[in-house]
């Protein structure tokens, strides 16, 4: 079930669009911000609120990179794998992250602390290589010092 606050925040978006369906991406992000991901149950609840079928909403959910349909860790690491970061050391950064965390790309650490995902160009190419942890952008990342960055996220 959606919480009262989730419902309220979703319904506040209705005023900005001529129909409820247009709010569906916002709605999934609102739920995901609180729960980390969009479960089947959340998907059905959001679809019902917006007058969509769950399948229709799922077709939208699975199209977008930033809607998670599987559980993620408390902190999500997005490593840019696009061209400028590739030229300036993405491979080393990725290898280092995988070895420090002991997981592969797309996986979550057993303690649920980190999920490691690739992301397309983050638009900070003059400071490549870059990655995001949650809402924070980290640039000019030195693969050798990646542990110090991760230490800030519990």
- Report the interface residues with other proteins, using CB under 8 A: 16-19, 21-26, 28-29, 50, 59-60, 63-67, 78, 81-84, 86-88, 119-128, 132, 135, 137
Cβ neighbours of residue 41 under 8 Å, at least 6 residues apart?
Answer: none
Q: How far is the CB of 126 from other proteins (least distance, A)?
A: 4
Query: 23 or 111: whose CB is closer to other proteins?
Result: 23
Which token pair is 136?
């924070």
Choice between 102 and 106, CB closer to other proteins: 106
Query: How many Cα neighbours within 13 Å face the side chain of 25?
Result: 10
Structure token digits, residue 32: 């995901």
Instruction: Name the minimum Å distance from CB 109 to other proteins.
Output: 22
* Smallest distance from other proteins to CB 44, Å: 17
Q: Nearest distance from residue 58's CB to other proteins, in Å?
A: 11
Say if CB 25 and CB 57 are below 8 A apart. no
């Amino acid at each position: 079930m959606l919480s009262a606050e989730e419902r309220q925040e979703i319904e506040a978006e209705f005023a900005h669009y001529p129909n409820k369906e247009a709010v569906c991406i916002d709605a999934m992000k609102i739920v995901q911000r609180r729960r980390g991901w969009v479960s089947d149950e959340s998907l059905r609840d959001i679809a019902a609120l917006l007058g969509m079928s769950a399948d229709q909403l799922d077709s939208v959910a699975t199209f977008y990179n930033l809607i998670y349909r599987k559980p993620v860790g408390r902190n999500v690491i997005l490593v840019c794998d696009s061209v400028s970061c590739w030229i300036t050391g993405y491979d080393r950064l990725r290898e280092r992250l995988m070895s420090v965390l002991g997981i592969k790309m797309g996986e979550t650490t057993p303690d649920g602390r980190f999920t490691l995902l690739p992301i397309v160009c983050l638009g900070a190419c003059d400071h490549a290589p870059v990655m995001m942890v949650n809402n924070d952008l980290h640039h000019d990342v030195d693969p050798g010092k990646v542990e110090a960055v991760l230490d800030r996220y519990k």
